[in-house]
Amino acid sequence: MKIPKIELAAKIGKLKAIVPKKTPMAALQTVLLKDGCLIASDMEMTVQVKLEGISAGLEESFLIPESMFQLISNLPSGDVEITAKEIEAGMEMELKCGKIRNKFTSLSPEVYPAIKGLENVKFEIEVEAEKLLAGITHVLFAVDDGSGNQLMRTLNLSCANGYLNFKGLDGHMMAWDKVPKEGQFDINIPKRTCQQILNMDLQGMVNITSDGSTVRFETEYIMIESRLLNGEFFKTDQLFQDMPLTAAVNRKAFVESLNRANLCRLDNDPIKLNFSGDKVRMELINSRNDYNEEIQLNDEVKEELRIGMDPRLLMAAIKSFDSENIYMEMQTARQPIKLLSDESDMKAIVLPVAIK
């Protein structure tokens, strides 16, 4: 195989996060080259990327061990040539790049586990990569990292009533985005898979297919296949009810204010938000700090409200929006703040924190 180093290193760099550090299957600690594509799998998720710059060896098949990833990344510019021949212990490999030569051993590609693939496809839709990536990005912050509830560690992707819906929650925050799309399905995608989708820089149209237990995202050059988590996702639509108090604020300025307050926190100190007139006063008091800041609102609020929030969670939610302004709907100090945008259908909810 002969290919520009810059492409080989970049694509191995995209795949190496999938290669497991510990596994009883040694073959999984490699990247498979087959039919002009690089493939990595941990048996839960498989990613395949097409190599566009191969000038020789398109028909070759071999395994690149993890121990070679760093070396390939640090090779000088130019073409990399990798050859392989069978030996009793597996494969003897030789890598050449300019004046560099390195011989190493690897396993036979025949021991790489077969990719399961899809059986009895239940749905298939096509969506623009830009819209798919935006929807995932907008709600992924709310998907839990380590909750005991497995469904909270998934992003719910569903299509109904003319919309493709993206939903995530972790017990403290919820997020929901949607884009117009016809179809009918409901699947739960592991957070790690969503992170890998964002890492792959998908472009063009993405074909999404599923057989109910596995989902595949495929473009002209990239294929991502992942197991799904079975179960009915949480009913969240009713939680996004309208609330009587509305406050609008510049998103960037409010995030900067929250960040300053967050830097003054000790442990899990809440901030106090005091909405009054066309201002919101932010307070944080602990044994070392007595922080106060006044932020200008775009309009006056109808009633005064004092509410406690975790600045880290509120900041993460607001950062996920793309709009210039953020709209906050509120009702009481014990009910969540709902975040809205006037530039998209995205919504988020952040639960309050008790304050004295």
**Is the whole model's pTM more than 0.85, yes or no?**
yes
**How confident is the model over 47-92, as pLDDT tens digits?**
999 999 887 667 889 999 999 999 999 999 999 999 999 998 889 9
**Average pLDDT value for the chain:** 95
Phi, psi of 17 (to 5 degrees): -65, -20
Spell out the residues 6+ positions from residue 170 whose beta carbon is closer than 8 angstroms to its own. 142, 143, 144, 145, 147, 152
**Band (133; pLDDT cuts 50, 70, 90):** very high
**How confident is the model over 268-303, as pLDDT tens digits?**
899 999 999 999 999 999 999 999 999 999 999 999
Domains along the chain with CATH numbers: 2-111 (3.10.150.10), 123-237 (3.10.150.10), 241-350 (3.10.150.10)
R_g (Cα) of the chain, nearest Å: 25
CB-CB contact of 255 with 301 (8 Å): no
Per-residue pLDDT averaged across 164-180, rounded? 96
pLDDT at 356: 79
pLDDT at 332: 96
DSSP 234: P
CA distances from 273 to 186, 286, 290, 337 (A): 37, 15, 14, 11
pLDDT at 20: 95
